Structure 1
């Protein structure tokens, strides 16, 4: 059975609602904090599983109530987490998230147990990987482990997706074994700046960067939708209309659904982008990260007006 492998982070998200996000030096009053499972790696694994893929996850949590709650969510999504390590000497990673009335957020991440992930963990987690599988990576774990995982996947003939989030401060071979880079508007500019490319907007960069990187690029741009280049032409998948309540986890939902769709229909990047956009649109209408990610049945049941209907290639 072809599989989506995910190596990445797991966090407990501490969520606070505010009327507006604080500026430097400003204190704002928020609601009482709530806690929910998250972490970019875990979110993307859950999204791929809820999209219908068989998923294997490699990561680490603390031996604490937050870690156990995350394990419950992974189990409910039927994710194989036998290679997930429970760490006794570090707490589960924590993300402190402020969300304003428009659904926009600011996030601070404390890695906790994520820093305990080792090269041996990665090797063991990818032990069953083979040609036809997909590896999904992000940048909330050590970059050396991201590079290792990508190299292992490439050597096995698997397809490698890297979500360059949070935006990298340096490349250092990070993209050497990547087949598809998924970035948002800020992240694609950060990658271009690191590479010393002339500044440009995300539409220009999604077309100019692939030849430089040797990898395809999908750029998500919030309400503008997502963009990629296929057969030399710019492809645009419009964003679905949605009343955003909380954008936390929307990008991870997009990445997980994208991976699951490419596993089911290899090579159909445009179709995968459309499905991922539909899932992300549903996710932003809910609060939380993992908990907001829709199951594939919910996409099928969503009103037609809530799904993208226009697909433009030029």
Structure 2
């Protein structure tokens, strides 16, 4: 294995509903396919890392319901270590309803359940943090995430914070602005979309907002903005790196950001590639995911590298 990554965050099952188009208000559409697939931002990143050859350790909390049982079995099938995954007796596993349409369009409804966001600091596996090469968090189970990040920083373990959902949504998940601010101070690399940066700063210019966040919280390795078809941007104290999105015919964009993050952690944190190389590799991982259905990408390093060479 090239390195060890501990991941805490959204662990979920996705009910994917494929349609011909996303209906308008009070509209109708026919569902062409309905399927239950494993998802959740943290577990998607874990599966991407495992496919790339890293040792991915998933922590977090699921219920002992049907969704939880299926989720755990698929996690193992994807090569992720589930030793530190907690099962809540009588709990409901986080699950989402994802409606997809041609061209990669989709929308997501989340049933938070009572498990994913309620892991406590006492349940956090602090004893293994020092053995890790990276800690990934997305602030689901914020109390446990902050405790793990404090321990990681104390032990000089890089912390990657992926703000998968903006602060306004995280408040609905019982994550406060104060907790988000603390995690921003603890992380060594921060990833968010444009809306996340806008809500953090009130600044509509994404690059200017990125610099505000970087300066305010002193994030060592810089901040990254994922912007879909516009590509990705990485701002550190010296430079702004840009990577255009690779031109592909999108089948399903669900989980593309998670595959991007997995590729980024693999290339930058574990392989120590420079920022431009890491950004390009991560973008390649996301592009491959967009050409496949489902929220997880299982591409290995050689597949991604070959794709980048071709384009």
Q: TM-score, normalised by structure 2?
A: 0.87
The 5-angstrom pairing of residues 197-212 of structure 1 reads: 199-212=203-216
What's the secondary structure of 1:288's corresponding residue? coil
- Residue of structure 2 in register with 1:302 after alignment: 307
- Residue of structure 2 in register with 1:119 after alignment: 121
- Residue of structure 2 in register with 1:246 after alignment: 252
Deviations, residues 228-249 of structure 1 (Å, cap 9, x unaligned): 1245221111211111111100
| Distance change >3 Å, CA 69–CA 294, structure 1 → 2 | farther
Q: 2:46 touches 2:80 (CA, 8 Å); kept in 1? A: yes
CA distance in 2, matches of 1:299, 1:218: 20
Deviation at 1:267, TM superposition (A): 6.5
Comparing 73-82 with 180-189, greater Cα deviation is found at 73-82
RMSD over aligned Cα atoms: 2.2
Q: 2:8 touches 2:58 (CA, 8 Å); kept in 1? A: yes
The 5-angstrom pairing of residues 157-306 of structure 1 reads: 157-169=156-168, 170-172=176-178, 173-193=182-202, 199-215=203-219, 216-230=222-236, 232-266=238-272, 268-290=274-296, 292-302=297-307, 304-306=309-311
- Residue of structure 2 in register with 1:7 after alignment: 8
Deviation at 1:49, TM superposition (A): 1.6
Comparing 54-63 with 271-280, greater Cα deviation is found at 54-63
What's the secondary structure of 2:245's corresponding residue? coil
Count of residues in Structure 1 that have an aligned counterpart in Structure 2? 297
CA distance in 2, matches of 1:153, 1:44: 19
CA distance in 2, matches of 1:304, 1:146: 37
CA distance in 2, matches of 1:77, 1:17: 23
Deviation at 1:64, TM superposition (A): 3.6
Deviation at 1:116, TM superposition (A): 4.1
- Structure 1 unaligned spans of 5+: 194-198, 307-314
| Distance change >3 Å, CA 243–CA 116, structure 1 → 2 | same
- Residue of structure 2 in register with 1:312 after alignment: none
Q: 1:279 touches 1:293 (CA, 8 Å); kept in 2? A: no
What's the secondary structure of 1:175's corresponding residue? helix
CA distance in 1, matches of 2:206, 2:308: 30
Comparing 183-192 with 26-35, greater Cα deviation is found at 26-35
Deviations, residues 183-216 of structure 1 (Å, cap 9, x unaligned): 11222212223xxxxx232233223431122112
Q: TM-score, normalised by structure 1?
A: 0.86
CA distance in 2, matches of 1:303, 1:40: 24
Deviation at 1:66, TM superposition (A): 2.9
What's the secondary structure of 1:243's corresponding residue? coil
CA distance in 1, matches of 2:24, 2:122: 42
CA distance in 1, matches of 2:33, 2:57: 35
Q: 1:5 touches 1:135 (CA, 8 Å); kept in 2? A: yes
Query: Which is bigger in relative contact order (C-alpha 8 A, separation at least 6)?
Result: 1
What's the secondary structure of 2:14's corresponding residue? strand
